[in-house]
Structure formats: C-alpha cells, structure tokens
Structure 1
Amino acid sequence: MITTTDTAACPTCGAATVTVFDAPPWCAACEWNLDTFDRQRRAPEFGWVWVDRWTHRVAYRLTRGQFTGLVGRALGSDRWSGAAVAVAVASVVLTAGVLAMAATGVWLTVAFGFPSLAAVPGVALIGLAVALRPRFGRIDPDLEVLTRDRAPELFGLVDEVAAAVGTPAPDVIGVDADLNAYAGAVGVRRRRVLCLGLPWWGSLDAQERVALLGHELGHFGNGDPRRMLLTQPAFTTLGSAADLVRPVDTVRGGGLLEMAGSALAKVFQWTLSRLLFGVHLVLLAVAQRDAQRAEYRADEMSARAAGTDAATRLLDIALRAESVALAVRREARAGHGPQRWRAAVAEAHDAAADDLPLLRQLSVRDDTSLFASHPPAGLRHRMLVEGPRHDPAVVLTEERSARIDAEMAREYERVRRDLSWSD
C-alpha cells in the first residue's frame, strides 16, 4: 500500500517522499506538502473547488495552530476560550430574539381585540418563534436502553470509569447496531445518555473498551459546547431559519403580475436564506474550534482511565474504521459473535502496523475541515504520545469483559443478524 516516490526528494529536508493510496506525495520526516488540498480524496464542502481549497488551507492552519498551542500542557476545561464565549453570547442573543418574536406575536394577537388585522402577523410571528425554538434533543428511538438489573457488570464498569475520570455517570445507557459510540445530553434537564454501538464495542479488547468509555464519559466534563444547554441554540437556530425562508415553488400558472411577484419574492428569500446560512456556517466554524479542544480533552481522560497505550490503540483502530466494518460484517455473516469480531479486528490491525505512521499523517490532510467536530486522528494520537504518560486507572480483565458480553447476548445476536443482511 505504501510507496516511495522515485522522481523527487523533499525540497525542504532532502528525504524521500512517500504516498499512501495514490495520494499526493509528502515528506514523512518534515511533513512537507502534507497541507496540500487533495480534491480526489475529499467530499466537496461548498461545491466550488477554489473555495474548498481556500477553506482547507485556512482549516489546516487553524488545526495545526491549535495542536501546537495545546500539545504538552494540561487540557483542563475550566477556562473559557474566546470561541466558547462567542458561541455562548450568540446563543443568548438568538434565544432572546426568538423570545422577543414570540412576545411580539402574542401582543399583536391580543392587544387589538378580535378580530383584527394585527392578529395575522401576530400569529405568523408566534408560528415562526415555535419553528425556531431551541431544540435540546431527545433519546434516539433506535437506542435499546439497558437497565442496571439487566446489565450489572456493564453498569459497574461505567461507574468505575466515571469515577476514574471525575465525571458524572450517565443517566441512560443503551446499545444500537452502529459502528460507533457516543455520549450526549438530551432535553432541557440535560439527561446524560451513553450509547455503545455493539459492532464497535464488540470489536474492541478489554482495555480498549475502558479507553472508549473514558473518552465518551469525558464528554460529560470536558466543556464540550455541543453538549451544553447554554450553547445549543448557536448550533441550530440560524440553520433552521435559513431552511424556513428558503424559496420554494408555490405559484403555478397565473398572470404576468403573479409571476413577477413570485420571482421577486424568490430573489429576496434566496438572498436572506443564504445570508442566514452563511452566518450559521461562520458560527459553526467558530464553535468547532472549541469542540475539537474538547475532543483532545476527552482523549486525555481516555488515557487516564485505560492507560496511554490502550487510548492510542483505540485511535489507531478508529483510523481504520472501514477495515473494522468489513471484518465485523464478514464474521457476522459467517455466524460468529463478538469473540471472533475482536480476533478479526486484531489480526487486521497487526497486519497494518507498518502502515499506521503514514496513515496517521495522511489523516491530518484528509480530515482537516473548518466544520469538523473532531481533530484529525493523527494529531489526536500525537497529542497523547507527546503528553504525560498515563498508567491505567481501571483494568478490565478478559473474564469480566466476557461477562459483560454475556449480559448482552440477546442484543449481540440481533445485531449479528442485522449485519448479516446489510450491504
């Protein structure tokens, strides 16, 4: 998979350049040309190549700058960054605007008696305020919620890891069929939810599972703006407003006057929609700087819980998520459960060991974006390696890990069947 170019050496340090998956070559020693924009390996963000190239250059500079500023020092969440303050202020302003809109609508509806022409814009403002109200999420209907009586070993492990990283335990623990895991807060009361995708959980060894829990539970105490009640409106309100005013075809037929009026309305709506969406993107890009810092902090908590070695292994496995998915699906179709999933993933991971250093570097090019909520996996790995080394605070034995799997045998079998029939 890895080739060394024969035509040129690095113009900066003279070392041979390398490439992976036919990507534009770079220097593994000094990372010359790693910041290049690779149109073939990136999904379009704006659709114009020159814009995507420019935003990638800006994002690369911001991402590397953030890494340089954080590496080697404590990543505590007790300090509000400029990005966090901007997002919080924007959320307060947006929420106040929605409340003012609702209050004005109520006043117009009731202040002039009924019936009244003022009630028409009043009702419209109330409807708009309802549509733009802050959304605080809800539990995913596909989440299969577990109880402590149903899975005491799993709940006990989660409690231990939460205590080790100094965060509250989740209020809800559930599983689903995704190759993923997440932690979040839902509702106005911000109920803490932990979801373990069984294909992902089942493919990890014992200590990697502790690392996964340490990372996800870390989001309950790392200052992540995506999970804070105060900052939620900044992520949704302007995007919803842009979608509401987006022009749609409502006029069919009609005379010249109706067609002209419809065209003017579309121009106005399109301009307003793009303006709102543009501000939404700017706000999102600012917020994601703090979200990426929170991911680094969650990785640090992962290392504190499971040890640095397990935390970095988890990042390397995530780096090759497509290979993990293929291995798990292959074993599921053969009728095998999580024990074989882990063996297959471990074999694939060992086979790719020599490739991992370059794959980490390539991730810095591929995964850099103004709108990415996670830093590139290669920088996350480097942040742990170059930071303080941690021994595991929680050690999960293979026997206990097997008991946890036994508690969820029914859920594993359902997921195995789903994977067997998936494309």
Structure 2
Amino acid sequence: MINTTAGTDACPRCGASMVSVRDATPWCAGCEWDLDAYDRARRPREFGWTWVDRSTWRLAYRMTGRQFDRLVGRPLDGARSGAARVVTAVASVLLLAGVLALATTGVWLIVAFPFPNLSVVLGVALLGLAYALRPRFDRLNEDLEVLSRDRAPELFALVDEVAAAIGAPTPQIVGVDGDINAYTHLVGVRRRRVLCLGLPLWGSLPAQERVALLGHELGHFVNGDPRRALLVQPAFTMLGSAADLVRPVRTVSGGGILELAGLALAHTVQWVLSRLLFTAHLVLVCVALRDSQRAEYLADELAARVAGSAAATRMLDSLLAEESIALAVRRESRAGHGPDRWRAAVAESRAAAAARLPLLRQLSVRDEASLFASHPPSGLRRRLLEARPWHDPRVVLTDDRMARIDAQLAREYERVRRTVSWSA
C-alpha cells in the first residue's frame, strides 16, 4: 500500500509543503528541493559501506540528470556516439587483442620448442587462460516458451507490423514466460534475435500500450544498445571473469612456517590483483551503462512513434506499478481468472493511484539512480517523452484483434495463471 503524506515543514526554496510517498525522505513536489537526498533506509546496499554507497549514488544522480539535460530538445536518433561509447568500444578491442595475444603466445610456446619442454606447460596454461576469458555468446533462456507462427499468427503479424513501422528487423524467436517483464536479446554464434513477452505484463496492458511495449523492445534492435552489440561484450564480462580467476581460494591447510608464509604472500598478491581487476570491471561497466541508458531513451521515442505518445507515456507509468500488477494478477489468478480480469484489476489499481502518480514519477528519479542501472529512472523517461514532439499512432491495435491474440495464447496464459496462483 502506498501512503502519501504532506509534511508540515515548508520548502525553504519555494515555500510549498513537503511531500512523501512510500515512507521516503520528504521533498518538494513543486521545485523538487531535496529530491536529491540520499535515502539510506530505502536504498539497496551496492558496495556495503554506507559512505561509499552514498557517494556513488550522488555521482549516479548527477550523471543521470546531466544526461537527461543533454538529450532534452535534441534529436535522439543523432545521439548515437559519445565518450561512453568510444571508451567502451576501445576497451573491448584492447581486451579482445589481449586474449588473442594470450592464445597466440600459447600456441607459439607449444610448437616452437621440442617436446617435452616446460614451455609446453606454460603454453597450455596461456591457452587455458585465453579460453576462460573468451567472449561468451548468450544462450536462450530455459524458461522461455518459444512460439511458432502457426501457434500465434495474430501475435506474429502484430510484431511484424510494429517492426516495419520503426524500421527494425523482426525477431527470429518469439516466446513468452511468467515474469512481469519483456525483453529482446541476441543469442548464439549466429546472433539470433529473441523477443520475450512476460504474460503477466502483456496480459495486463491495454491494447495500445502493448503496441508501445513492442515498439520499445523491438527498438533495441536499432537503437545502438551496447548490451546487444557483439563488439562491446568484452567490456561487460571479461575483466569480471579475470577477477574471478585470480581471486584467492584457500585450498591448503597446515604445513611448515615457510609454506604458510608463501601461501599468505600468494593470497595477498592474488587479492590485490583481483580487487584491481574487479574495480576496473566496475568502472568499465558503469561507463558502458551510460550509453545503455541513452539507448533506452531512444527506445521510448520509437515506442511513441509507433504507438502514439499517449500510449507510450501510459506504458512507462505501468513500470511504476509493477507491485500493483503483481498483486492484481496473483489475486485474479487465484480466483481462476485470466488476462481480461488481470487487465481490469490493474486498470482499477492504476485509477486509484492516479493522484499519486506525479509523486511516484518524481521519487523514481531518486530511487532508480544507480551507477549500475541499465535504464534511466522511469520518471525521467516519461518526462523526456513529454518534452518531445507529440506523435499519433502508426499502428493501432483494436480490442477485437487483441482478443484474438489472447485467444491464441490461451494455453500459455492458463499455464502462467496456475503458476502465479500457486506462488507465495
């Protein structure tokens, strides 16, 4: 339950009453004074030290605000390059070159000297290290229930229509799962495009918001999102893998004093090297995620172009109501109801919270700021859409067509309904 309170204290900047929702530190809804307050009681621990978490949150808050200010009023399509993208790409190329150098050196040590030779052992070790640090190709999620065009022709037709409207390639794999989420991804060596729709979210959205959801997710195939680019994958994974490889693990106990001293020295060197690599990994990921947040803003713009700005902004408000969606879907599922009742229950919940939505949007700017956030705060995403030219829908999903889509997914809905109703 969300409680809204108006504080007795007045804002020192504009004199308006302070407000709070969800027991957050009060701020001014008019001028947003003290919205940048660090809310320790409500912040998840990221590093574990309060002073570090506070400092990194303040840095993330400022960086998020500056990025928003840079993007307001400028064409998002042209905002594809920047320092974050260049740094991420250069770092990835250097990391790939380092792995290739390890593999090349390992092969040379094996073939350049007659066998047996200690160089062969070193060469095999370098090849093993290069293999452990190699770029990984993501695999298809085991929970994804893959659909075929024959199984859900209406859904595939809608996906094709939305993809064509925003100039995106169609996904090669379309599936559903039981999460309140939706995502696109690239998997395997062939980089097959995957679209996943979480049925609790998909079934809870009105028709035009579903078009906006598809527009946003398919937009990730054309918005330059670094998380889906093969070249920059090493920036997200390689240094973290290296830190894990050199992390000290105690495998020997007992022994003489010299052995224990050598072991302690080795562990110290490994610990320092592991922390240095992990720190570099965190810095590189934080830089890369700045570009990822820019890509999210562009995906929202593409959603507005295909579904209309009104539907796109309402869809973003749905992200603020994830808890309400979960509660409504669980309640209706336990009563034996499907997506029609999910949608009606969620609509009732959103209508009841309409007066609090502006405050929740503002609070999201505080709550969702993080150096490790791949998405900008929901409130800023909506604010940016409102500041941009208004779009009429290019693709309109009628209620009849939505009903046909849901009818073709009836078996999948029923499976998710049973799973949700059994969950705690």
The alignment's TM-score, normalised by the length of structure 2, stands at 0.98
Match of 1:30 in 2: 31
Match of 2:213 in 1: 212
Match of 2:91 in 1: 90
1:395 positional shift:
0.4
SS at match of 2:115: coil
Number of aligned pairs? Answer: 422
Match of 1:229 in 2: 230
Q: Deviations over 1:146-180 (max 9, x none)?
A: 11111110000000000111111111111111111
| Map 1:326-337 → 2, pairs under 5 A | 326-337=327-338
Q: Deviations over 1:191-250 (max 9, x none)?
A: 111000111111111111001000000000001011011111110000111111111111
The 1:77–1:252 alpha-carbon spacing in structure 2 relative to 1, beyond 3 Å, is farther
Match of 1:281 in 2: 282
Contact 1:77 1:221 survives alignment (8 Å)? no
Amino acid in the other structure paired with 2:76: L
Asked if residue 407 in structure 1 is aligned to residue 408 in structure 2, the reply is yes
2:11 and 2:41 mapped to 1: Cα distance?
22
Match of 2:157 in 1: 156
2:398 and 2:343 mapped to 1: Cα distance?
15
1:78 positional shift:
6.5
2:93 and 2:259 mapped to 1: Cα distance?
40
Amino acid in the other structure paired with 2:113: F
1:359 and 1:69 mapped to 2: Cα distance?
23
1:262 and 1:319 mapped to 2: Cα distance?
51
Amino acid in the other structure paired with 2:211: V
Contact 1:77 1:223 survives alignment (8 Å)? no
1:78 and 1:371 mapped to 2: Cα distance?
21
Asked if residue 5 in structure 1 is aligned to residue 12 in structure 2, the reply is no
| Map 1:202-351 → 2, pairs under 5 A | 202-351=203-352
The 1:149–1:315 alpha-carbon spacing in structure 2 relative to 1, beyond 3 Å, is same
Amino acid in the other structure paired with 1:355: R
1:72 positional shift:
2.5
Between stretches 129-138 and 109-118, larger displacement belongs to 109-118
Asked if residue 15 in structure 1 is aligned to residue 19 in structure 2, the reply is no
Amino acid in the other structure paired with 1:272: L
Amino acid in the other structure paired with 2:156: F
Amino acid in the other structure paired with 2:28: C
Amino acid in the other structure paired with 1:4: A
2:402 and 2:210 mapped to 1: Cα distance?
9
Q: Deviations over 1:279-305 (max 9, x none)?
A: 011111111111000000000011111
Amino acid in the other structure paired with 2:295: A
1:52 and 1:403 mapped to 2: Cα distance?
49
The RMSD of aligned alpha carbons is: 1.0
2:255 and 2:330 mapped to 1: Cα distance?
56
1:359 and 1:78 mapped to 2: Cα distance?
28
Q: Deviations over 1:304-327 (max 9, x none)?
A: 111111111111111111111111
2:208 and 2:20 mapped to 1: Cα distance?
32
Q: Deviations over 1:336-360 (max 9, x none)?
A: 1111111111110111000000000
Amino acid in the other structure paired with 2:45: P
Contact 1:77 1:222 survives alignment (8 Å)? no
SS at match of 2:6: strand
Structure 2 residue ranges without an equivalent (≥5) = none
Q: Deviations over 1:93-135 (max 9, x none)?
A: 0011001101111111222122111111111111111110001
Match of 1:68 in 2: 69
Stretches of 4+ aligned residues off by more than 6 angstroms: none
The alignment's TM-score, normalised by the length of structure 1, stands at 0.98
Contact 1:175 1:196 survives alignment (8 Å)? yes
2:72 and 2:79 mapped to 1: Cα distance?
17
2:279 and 2:151 mapped to 1: Cα distance?
47
Structure 1 residue ranges without an equivalent (≥5) = none
1:5 and 1:150 mapped to 2: Cα distance?
55
Match of 2:397 in 1: 396
1:277 and 1:330 mapped to 2: Cα distance?
43
Amino acid in the other structure paired with 1:418: T
| Map 1:178-189 → 2, pairs under 5 A | 178-189=179-190
1:333 positional shift:
1.2
Amino acid in the other structure paired with 1:299: D
Contact 1:101 1:129 survives alignment (8 Å)? yes
2:73 and 2:369 mapped to 1: Cα distance?
21
Amino acid in the other structure paired with 2:376: P
| Map 1:364-383 → 2, pairs under 5 A | 364-383=365-384
1:187 positional shift:
2.3
1:414 and 1:113 mapped to 2: Cα distance?
62
2:115 and 2:410 mapped to 1: Cα distance?
63
Asked if residue 168 in structure 1 is aligned to residue 195 in structure 2, the reply is no
1:89 and 1:79 mapped to 2: Cα distance?
16
Asked if residue 422 in structure 1 is aligned to residue 420 in structure 2, the reply is no
Percent sequence identity is 70
Between stretches 206-215 and 79-88, larger displacement belongs to 79-88
